[in-house]
Chains A and B, each alone.
Chain A
């Protein structure tokens, strides 16, 4: 038998992986999870699993037809661009900070 703690962990996983719920909805149920009546916890877990499985099945279908691995490439591209973008933001913010510091020093002279 699955313990309450295990059930909570499973529900958390299903909520995080859900493509259909907004982040706000996910956060709401994640925050409520600990105090939920066990029956409600079971019911939401079961329902969410079924729906997530349908979506996973759709993605499976796509991957079966993606012999060129386009989706994996797209994912890699998103990540690569994200990293570059993050570095750029970081760099420009550092530059802004340095300029601000320089200006501040100049003003003090």
Chain B
């Protein structure tokens, strides 16, 4: 076969493939046919009317008889379609049955038009009532809605029945919502009453700032948690879709709940200012009392205590007893002061900055004193435990005697000790030597 012939074959094959690609699929062909057919049916009437004819008889023929012919052809086609589907086992509904159903449905609708009209009117009246809200008292709205329910046709036909039920249910649901609203409205009224009671309690407390009145004010104040009350009553009822219920809740929130909250916040803010002033005075008095107490009583004792505590060892039993008594007395005094300041620890954030600084400083000073006593006690305990150590000589070497006394040197055994232990051993040796010196002097 020549090369030229091969080329021709390939070219033909390519043309065939291209044509196959371009040819519409069977589904597309059907769809196109269907579109064309229905467009032709829809256009038929217009096409016929566009024909230029003059006689009324010809016009009547085109307007009345021809559409009937087309209609007949379509009915025949649909009957054929029904038969094809039946043959395929699809169990379609016969045309006559569909026709009967349609006519029966329309006849019943026609009979029930007056009932539908009545129900629709009531539905409309209900919507108007909700839209314009001629009154906002829930009881009046409930009464008006009940009247509407009573006006619904008592014995509605089979078709209007479901519509009647739908409208009745809608009204009934809104009555339920209104009853809930009424309960919430009562809650808001109670909140307003509570705020008034709080106001009265605060006024009473201002006249008589006793502890009993203070407790009553605090109880009332903590019971009025507006965040929680607001969430309980209004959550999900104001936000979201704008309905007549949401507008009722909006009104209740804005006009009653918020004014109660504003009044509460106002009273509370004034009360808090007074409490703050009172607290500052209380703390300042306390700080002054502590200062006087410290200067007059504790400071001289602390000086004496610190001097004695710095001594390595107190041998004299009387002196030792005095030291112990002094230490215990001071510890007790500072613990009492600590308790006094701790009572105000929680409220310190309410203080003015300067007072707060003074308070914190004093608190730290007291804590430092207590800590110091504890450290002293611990140090003494450690020292005493070293007295019992008999092997201290293993860590030192005797070098000789000079004018000032004996000379020792820490030996390699000491150097080999861990650093913490070294310190303890050194303190114990110094303590022992000091003790020996005192004994010699005695």
**Chain A interface (Cβ < 8 Å from any Cβ of B):** 18-21, 25, 29, 36-40, 43-44, 47-48, 51, 54-55, 57-66, 69, 71-72, 74-76, 78-79, 82-83, 85-87, 89-90, 93-94
Contact = CB atoms under 8 A, between A and B. Distances in A.
A100 B44 CA distance: 34
Contact of B102 (A48, A69, A94): A48
Contact of A93 (B47, B55, B113): B55
20 contacts: A18-B102, A19-B71, A21-B103, A25-B106, A29-B106, A37-B120, A40-B112, A43-B159, A44-B105, A47-B105, A48-B102, A58-B79, A58-B82, A58-B95, A59-B74, A63-B33, A72-B37, A78-B70, A82-B62, A93-B57
Contacts of A72: 33, 36-37, 40
A63 to B, nearest CB: 5
B48 A59 contact: no
A59 B77 CA distance: 6
Contacts of A59: 74, 77-78, 81
A2 B105 CA distance: 23
B58 A37 contact: no
A71 B77 CA distance: 8
Nearest to A75: B40
Contacts of B77: 58-59, 62-63, 71
Contacts of A82: 48, 61-62, 65-66, 69
B117 interface: yes
A74 B75 CA distance: 13
Interface SS of chain B: helix, strand, loop or mixed? helix
Contact of B95 (A29, A55, A71, A78): A55
B37 A71 contact: yes
Interface residues of B, number: 53
Contacts of B163: 39
Contacts of B283: none
B84 A65 contact: yes
A66 B33 contact: yes
Nearest to A78: B69
Nearest to B116: A37
Contacts of B120: 37-39
Contacts of B48: 79, 82-83, 86
Contacts of B74: 19, 59
A74 B73 contact: yes
Given A36-B113, A75-B40, A85-B61, A90 B53 contact: yes
Given A40-B113, A71-B77, 19 more contacts: A18-B102, A19-B71, A19-B74, A20-B103, A21-B102, A25-B106, A37-B120, A39-B120, A58-B79, A58-B81, A71-B73, A82-B62, A86-B53, A87-B53, A89-B53, A89-B58, A90-B53, A90-B54, A90-B57
Contacts of A86: 48, 51, 53, 58, 61-62
Contacts of B70: 75, 78
A61 B95 CA distance: 14
A63 B30 CA distance: 7
Most B Cβ at <10 Å: residue of A60, A69, A86: A86
Contact of B113 (A37, A69, A83, A90): A37
Contact of A63 (B37, B58, B71, B113): B37
B292 interface: no
- A interface SS class: helix
A47 to B, nearest CB: 5
B66 A51 contact: no
A58 B92 contact: yes
Nearest to B41: A75
Given A25-B106, A39-B120, A78 B73 contact: yes
B119 interface: yes
Contacts of A20: 95, 98-99, 102-103
A60 B34 contact: yes
B101 interface: yes
Interface in B93-129: 93, 95, 98-99, 101-103, 105-106, 109, 112-113, 116-117, 119-120
A42 B352 CA distance: 72
B223 interface: no
A89 B61 CA distance: 9
A39 B80 CA distance: 35
Contacts of A94: 54-55
A61 B30 CA distance: 10
B85 interface: yes
B101 A90 contact: no
A58 B41 contact: no
A57 B69 CA distance: 21
Contacts of B119: 37, 39
A18 B98 CA distance: 11
A93 B58 CA distance: 9
B76 to A, nearest CB: 9
A30 to B, nearest CB: 12
Contacts of A90: 53-55, 57-58
Given A78-B69, A86-B51, A63 B109 contact: no
